[in-house]
Amino acid sequence: MDINVVNALPYEEFVKLFGNVVEKCPLISAAVWSCRPFKDLANIEVHIAEFIHSLPDSGKEGILRCHPDLAGRDLQSGTLTQESQEEQSQAGMTTLDSAEILKMYRLNAEYKDRFGFPFVICARLNNKADIVRQLSERLKNDRAAERERAIEEVKKICSLRLRNIVLPDIQTKL
């Protein structure tokens, strides 16, 4: 949809359509709706990023806690959001063998014990080997650094999800 259609959406429709651009955080889309009219796709991203950055650390961690574990119980039980299901599938998380699943469970648990929120990475920009490597490496970070790194990954995920909804500006000008 082009930006003019986005700007014309009533509140309820906007929140329904954009409510999961940040995993299970429709409050963010509700908050940025009032920033309309948006100039373009990038402007929506800026407003979402500004909202996230304005949150206290506890709010940022709340956003991170809304994310599922990669290759975790939600994937195994089929309860992921449609977006997360597609993203984890593209990254190879749905084709792990039993040893890989156990390794992911162990690393996810270690990460959550250390930081208090799940490991977040933009799965669409990584494969399973990259994910395991980065999960292991990021366990060495301190909490503040890891929170900021994870929020940067949330913004990457959001950006890609927005591009599935809103036409990039170049396409609207053709």
Q: Indicate which residues carry an active-site annotation.
A: 67
Q: What is the Cα Rg of the chain in Å?
A: 17
Q: If DSSP states are collapsed to H, E and C, what string results for the chain?
A: CCHHHHHHCCHHHHHHHHCCCCCCCHHHHHHHHCCCCCCCHHHHHHHHHHHHHHCCHHHHHHHHHCCCCCCCHHHHHCCCCHHHHHHHHHCCHHHCCHHHHHHHHHHHHHHHHHHCCCCCCCHHHCCHHHHHHHHHHHCCCCHHHHHHHHHHHHHHHHHHHHHCCCCCHHHHCC
